[in-house]
Amino acid sequence: TAASPPKHFLQIDDLSGDELAELFSTAAELKVAHRAGKDHAVLPNRSLAMLFEKPSTRTRVSFEAGMTQLGGHAVYLGPDTTHLDHGEPVADTARALSRYVDAVMARVFDHDALESMAAHATVPVVNGLSDAAHPCQTLADLFTVYERFGGFEDVEVAWVGDGNNVGQSFAVGAAMAGIDLTMATPEGYGPNDGVLARADACGRAPDVVHDPEKAVEGADVVYTDVWVSMGEDDVREEKLGDFEGFQVNDDLLAAAPKADVMHCLPAHRGEEITGDVLESDRAVVWEQAENRMHTQKALLVHLLGED
């Protein structure tokens, strides 16, 4: 009989609501084990290839350290280190890597490259950020909200800034979790219609507005991401102009005096967020960053562990 196709994780809604809940419970256990220094090498001898077309601090190190803690190994393939950047097609790269490793994580410019990789790989493919989505970030974001509020019910989140990759995945993930989300973006920078339809199918599309103060009013969490994403340097000046008024600063947060502040990082102080806010007690960004590792380990266990 033919082997069953591998599970991929290209979008947050590649997981069902039940799988997401189970993943958070595994992440919580793994976090306790890690902090207690307790052995949890549940994926011995497994290997993960990590392919990057762009820079990374958190994604690379959280996956690499996570694989080591699970008893496995991760191979870093940075920009310009494989034949991918020298004419070998994605499909060929995916088929060759599948013969060596148990899963592939990739950070790419064009989301279609991930789709092609998943179509040809015979092992799970994980999205480590594309132009369209950053589902691994959403796992950490939702887990952080869960830890902070003990659940998702009645939690109001205001997204302020660009509605691209991180925002799009968060919109769908928030809908899956049952978070009440309002997104304030400049005109033309909201999540795309396909994303809104997927969020709607999960129960609640976010309200998309263009007035940050309106979005933030009474929020429990205010979340932002950079205005100029990796690879967007050519439109930097244009974007800085378009995002004027969308900075997360003390004035804006006066409308949500108790809100936590989230940021996927890296942060550009003085652009989307002020240094004061980022360094304040209300910022939970280091928890978020840490939770990348615990939730991704839970994801690897879900994708590679025995059923």
> Which residues are part of a known binding site?
56-59, 107, 134-137, 165, 225, 229-230, 264-265, 292
The reply to whether 31 sits near ligand CP by the rule CB under 6 A is no
- Catalytic-residue membership of 225: yes
The C-alpha atoms of residue 9 and residue 114 are separated, in whole angstroms, by: 10
* Structure-token pair, residue 178: 């049952």
Q: Among residues 255 and 265, whose Cβ is nearest to ligand CP?
A: 265
Q: Among residues 116 and 138, whose Cβ is nearest to ligand CP?
A: 138
Q: Among residues 13 and 290, whose Cβ is nearest to ligand CP?
A: 290
Q: Which of 102, 131, 220, 225 is catalytic?
A: 225
The site map against ligand CP for 43-72 (x = CB under 6 A) is -------------xxxx-------------
- Catalytic-residue membership of 134: yes
Extract the annotated binding site for carbamoyl phosphate: 56-59, 107, 134-137, 264-265, 292
The reply to whether 264 sits near ligand NVA by the rule CB under 6 A is yes
- Catalytic-residue membership of 292: yes
The C-alpha atoms of residue 116 and residue 69 are separated, in whole angstroms, by: 30
- Catalytic-residue membership of 269: no
The reply to whether 13 sits near ligand NVA by the rule CB under 6 A is no
Tell me 206's DSSP state: P
The C-alpha atoms of residue 15 and residue 127 are separated, in whole angstroms, by: 13
Of 50, 166, 208, 284, the residue at the interface with ligand NVA (CB under 6 A) is: 166
Extract the annotated binding site for L-ornithine: 165, 225, 229-230
Sheet (strand 156-160) strand order: 207-209, 180-184, 156-160, 221-224, 260-263
| Full DSSP string of 42-99 | -STT-EEEEEESS--SHHHHHHHHHHHHTT-EEEEE-TTSSGGGGT--HHHHHHHHHT
The reply to whether 137 sits near ligand CP by the rule CB under 6 A is yes
* Structure-token pair, residue 64: 């690499």
- # residues near ligand CP by CB under 6 A: 9
Those residues with Cβ within 8 angstroms of residue 41's Cβ, 6 or more apart along the chain or in another chain: 69, 70, 71
Question: Do the beta carbons of residue 190 and residue 214 sit within 8 Å?
Answer: no
Instruction: Give catalytic residues, as residue numbers.
Output: 107, 134, 137, 225, 264, 292
The residue ranges that bind ligand CP (CB under 6 A) are 56-59, 129, 137, 264-266
